[in-house]
Amino acid sequence: MHAGRERPRGEGQISVCHIVSGDLWAGAEVQVATLLKCLSRETSLALAAIVLNSGRLADEIQSYAIETRVIPENKHGFLAIARESIRFLKGRDVQILHSHRYKENLLAALMARRLHIPCVVRTQHGLPEPQAGLRRLKQQLILSLDRFLARRSTDRVISVSSEMTQALARHLNARKIATIPNGIDLERTRSLLAVAEAKENLGIPRNCPVIGTAGRLEPVKRLDLFLEMAAVIIRERPDVRFVISGDGREAARLWARAEALGIHRQVFFLGHRNDVFDVLRAFDVLVLSSDHEGLPMVLLEAMALGVVVVARAVGGIPEVIRNGVNGVLVDSSDPAALASACRQFLDSPARSKQVAEAARDLVANDFSAERAAGQVRQLYYSLLGLR
């Protein structure tokens, strides 16, 4: 356990504590860090954070001068985490708890009751991913408890897309849901590499077109579909290279599938990368083949970096991409349909440039971190009856 630099609460400030897991560094964690970076600049807010694992997220939050208590999950059971969290917040007069996942939602409910904290907010970063067998049974039990807490012990649920808001409204009073899309830190989302240099850094010849994807290697991401698409393209364009950046349970199975398709020499499995912006810079096209998404950070990051996006029309993605204008939507799970969408950009650099410029403009205008943080700050004010 360790804490960042303490910044005392000033008179008239709203005291907010975020509770987040921090075991990964993926889309949700990036969004939490980005949000807290912006909120930390607000003089009207006094921020604290409870992070349930050490790692990059905890380090990022502490670097913003936010007092942080790190409680490792592998050393503490749930009740011990709750006791430690209560000790951390006792006497701080916290007015809002803001949680980000199932366990943290339960912690927030317990802490609010114990410490008489008036407002509880949670962010729903994505919808539950389908499970099977015992995992499915466990998931159903957790979901039932989580939805009960959302109805009874939560003041607002932040949804990152309109599509997700509709799904949440099946279980919650719609007045409890606030739709606030993710935002990205435009100053930080950059690469100093030229496209050719970025390709060479990955061991790819400068003149080879690159189609890539980035994210967790989990079943919902449908990277088997990405590989099937790659096989279709390689039959016509053997010069194209494919990149999969990320780690997860599907890694071994996906490598085996690439070998079975005979494309493993053209597919680069990078594993987890901390230089994701330099990786994205190497892409001519980013493909999102998921069965479902909330509002993926990698989508916004790629668009900000000028990478053309081809994505399945799922989750919140159609709320960002205008088909044919700033990207391409594929309303199908057919690998040939994804391949066809990608080929139009491989064959037309002028078309790629036009779409990429439109994408950059959209993200800069509508999906900045400052805009998202401003909406969250206003939500806090409204809950406390302030303006």
Task: Give the residue numbers spanning the domain of 113.
Answer: 14-183+368-383
Which residue type sits at 8?
P
356's CB contacts (< 8 A; 6+ apart) are 303, 306, 307, 308
Residue 130 banded pLDDT, cuts 50, 70, 90: confident
pLDDT recorded at residue 10: 55
The predicted-structure confidence for 34-66, as pLDDT tens digits, reads as follows: 999 999 999 999 999 999 999 999 999 999 999
The answer on 244 and 128 residing in a single domain is: no
Residue 336 lies in a domain: yes
Buried/exposed 134-168: b ≥16 CB within 10 Å, e otherwise: eeeeebeeeeeebeebbeebbbbbbbbbebbbebb
CB 353 within 8 A of CB 165: no
Question: Taking Cα atoms as reference points, which of 7, 8, 61 lies closest to residue 34?
Answer: 61
Instruction: Give the CATH number, domain containing residue 79.
Output: 3.40.50.2000
The answer on 72 and 168 residing in a single domain is: yes
The answer on 274 and 235 residing in a single domain is: yes
The answer on 199 and 178 residing in a single domain is: no
Distance CA 345, CA 308 (A): 8
Residue 3 banded pLDDT, cuts 50, 70, 90: low
The answer on 348 and 214 residing in a single domain is: yes
* 113, 286, 291, 325, 382 from 210: Cα distances, Å: 52, 9, 23, 21, 47
The answer on 306 and 178 residing in a single domain is: no
The answer on 116 and 44 residing in a single domain is: yes
Say if residue 2's pLDDT is above 60.
no
Report residue 266: phi and psi, to 5°.
Answer: -100, -5
The predicted-structure confidence for 64-111, as pLDDT tens digits, reads as follows: 999 999 999 888 899 999 999 999 999 889 999 999 999 999 999 999
The answer on 268 and 288 residing in a single domain is: yes
The count of structural domains within the chain is: 2
277-285 mean pLDDT: 97
Cα angle value 165/289/298 (rounded, 5°): 70
The answer on 99 and 205 residing in a single domain is: no
Q: Which tokens hold the place of 77?
A: 């059971």
Residue 337 lies in a domain: yes
Residue 373 lies in a domain: yes
Higher-confidence position of 141 and 323: 323
The answer on 151 and 72 residing in a single domain is: yes
The answer on 362 and 376 residing in a single domain is: no
The answer on 93 and 75 residing in a single domain is: yes
Residue 265 lies in a domain: yes
Say if residue 386's pLDDT is above 80.
no
Residue 67 lies in a domain: yes
pTM: 0.85
pLDDT recorded at residue 6: 45
The predicted-structure confidence for 182-234, as pLDDT tens digits, reads as follows: 999 998 999 999 999 999 999 999 999 999 999 999 999 999 999 999 999 99
Q: Over the chain, what is the mean pLDDT? A: 92
Residue 7 lies in a domain: no
